[in-house]
Chains A and B, each alone.
Chain A
Amino acid sequence: MMSKNRADAPVLLEARGVCKYFGGLKAIENVDMTIRKGDVFGIIGPNGAGKTTFFNICTGVFAPTKGEILLHGENIAGLTPEEIARKRMARTFQNIQLFKFMSVLENVQIGCHINTKTRMFDAVFQTKTYKKDEQYIAERSMDILQKIGLEEFAEMKAGNLPYGSQRKVEIARALALDPEILLLDEPAAGMNPNETMELREFILQLNEAGYTIVVIEHDMKFIMNSCNHILVLNFGQKIFEGAPEQVKANHDVQVAYFGKGIIARG
């Protein structure tokens, strides 16, 4: 999917002059961003740079103080997370937020929520809609679990799984939404190098399959090897946006990561 000519792909998600203030704290200040269809888009920055806050603004957890978030050219700033999910934008969380005491399968089943339309009447009288929905949910969730390699854990409580697999369940659950764009908040955190490698492969596979992916990550190797475009934040401000090679070469980015002294001497 990663086309050589990124500029030709249509714009999917766009941020224009987004600001978020918490009282006097300027968590995000005037950030612009353009994500195009087929991107694996990375957001990086030192600790406390505002990456997750920015993510939360895009997914509706916070409304921006100023600015617009455009999905397919439509302003979604200020919509609730559930409305944004209906616009087929799915996310995972930095601190895993699984339904810990539900089985892995049930976790994924809840992801199918927006694509089904059973009402109370349908459920009580088990109408055609109900049967169709339940069949769809059963097939789709098993299908996703198979793709992500978790089918043998389908009946296990999600909280019992090891950390790396829990992250996978979160991704599986988000995929059940059938999203166009998938936002991953530090998906490799707490994973060992092997698991990180597998995850990278998996993300690239998803991208091949047509999903646009936005990823926050601390692991530089991970970001540089998997993303085709990167946004760098520092102290709530955008300091650079561009292809991985450009990011590596950029002076401001080096200063943000290594400090002024080292760069000047180096």
Chain B
Amino acid sequence: MKKVKNTIVKYKLFFILAGLAILLLLPLVITKSVYMRHVCNVLIFATLASSLNIINGYSGQMCLGQAGFFAVGAYTCAILTTNYGWSFWVVWPVAGCLAALMGYLVSLPTLRLQGIYLSFVTLGFSEIIRIIAQTWTPVTGGNMGIKGIPFPIIFGKELFKPHDYYYILLATLLLFLFITSRILRSRIGRAWISIREESNAARSLGVEISRYKSMNFTYGAFWAGMIGAAYAPYVNFVDSSQFSLDTGFDALAMVVIGGQGTLIGPIIGSVVVTVLTESLRFLQYWRFVIYALIIIAMMWVRPQGIAGASNSILAGGKIRRSSRKKAISRNR
């Protein structure tokens, strides 16, 4: 295992470039639109789960309402492009910023809350957004939703085929990874992680935890909004049922299965969950049982997720005995 890791670190640039090449050429290999749709779904959920991972995985807050921010982004995009004729490229950042603003507002009253109480508030927020979308008919179309959301146009070409849209989604995910990895390598990322690890100690070292928690929430919500805005034209139709709590829980399951607090984890989680749901479709409703069993087994065997490190607070908060002994003997 360690050998594998070392090789990956050694040829990091090579692996990244090879991975990028594969990702860029993927639409040429997968010719069928149906399959390409699955790939696009993976990308959408990977980004959504990653944005949730910012909040849950890095600062240790427990947000269950990611579907709410996703909905804010999607509806902003749908309303502005369909009813007001704005260009997608203008609406996109606007939608992200609006979701970020929502995230900021939700974070304010929740700064004093932790754990399950924070979860309740975010859960409630997500439902409020969904109910607003369902009932505010003049703006959101109510139960009818919004149809015929225009596809983005780039260089005079309308991107409506999944093969083309794939690149927008891929770009979103890559941009997210690039920016986030830079933030995590700065004092901001370290402050987030310190809050997750031991918030009292972080405070005693001058980390303003309220400020960083709310910054974290805002940032996570921003990306949920961004992917929401990219999602709306892709499906061409939004209604409130797409943003139920289930969506939020799906994203959460991906984060947990893939590995919280790692950049690659939610992406792996998204691939695993999407492949499972599609390949088990023949089982009809039974697939949810299988899905649930996998999550339970996962929590049992590998609570830190597929990509998570075993020596992490997310793996159940135990320091491995063997490494501790090694440390002690080295010290003597």
Residues of A within 8 A of B (CB): 59, 61, 80-82, 85-86, 90-91, 93, 97-102, 106, 109-114, 116, 118-120, 122-124, 126, 130, 133-134, 137, 153, 156-157, 159-162, 165, 173-174, 176-177
Contacts and interface: CB of A to CB of B under 8 A. Distances in A.
Contacts of B324: 159-160
**Nearest 5 Cβ contacts at the A-B interface:** A85-B206, A123-B186, A114-B206, A99-B197, A97-B201
A165 B327 CA distance: 11
B28 interface: no
Contacts of B188: 118-120, 123
Given A159-B319, A161-B331, A118 B187 contact: yes
A111 B209 CA distance: 14
Given A99-B197, A112-B187, A161-B327, A120 B215 contact: yes
A61 B200 CA distance: 9
B205 A177 contact: yes
A102 B313 CA distance: 9
B183 A93 contact: no
Nearest to B326: A160
Nearest to B186: A123
B201 A98 contact: yes
B186 A122 contact: yes
12 contacts: A82-B204, A99-B201, A101-B319, A109-B187, A109-B190, A116-B187, A123-B185, A124-B183, A134-B186, A157-B323, A162-B328, A174-B204
Given A123-B182, A162-B331, A101 B207 contact: no
B206 A82 contact: yes
Interface in B194-220: 194, 197-198, 200-209, 215, 219
A81 B331 contact: no
A236 to B, nearest CB: 23
Contact of B327 (A112, A133, A160): A160
Contacts of A106: 190
Chain B contact patch, size range: 35 or more
B134 interface: no
A96 to B, nearest CB: 9
Given A90-B205, A101-B312, A123-B188, 16 more contacts: A61-B200, A97-B198, A99-B198, A99-B201, A100-B319, A101-B313, A109-B187, A110-B194, A110-B202, A113-B205, A119-B188, A123-B185, A123-B187, A160-B323, A165-B331, A177-B205
Contact of B208 (A82, A112, A157, A159): A82
A132 B266 CA distance: 32
B183 A90 contact: no
Contacts of A134: 186
A134 to B, nearest CB: 7
A136 to B, nearest CB: 10
Contacts of A59: 204
B242 interface: no
A85 B331 contact: no
Contact of A101 (B189, B191, B197): B197
Interface string B163-197: 00000000000000001001101111111011001
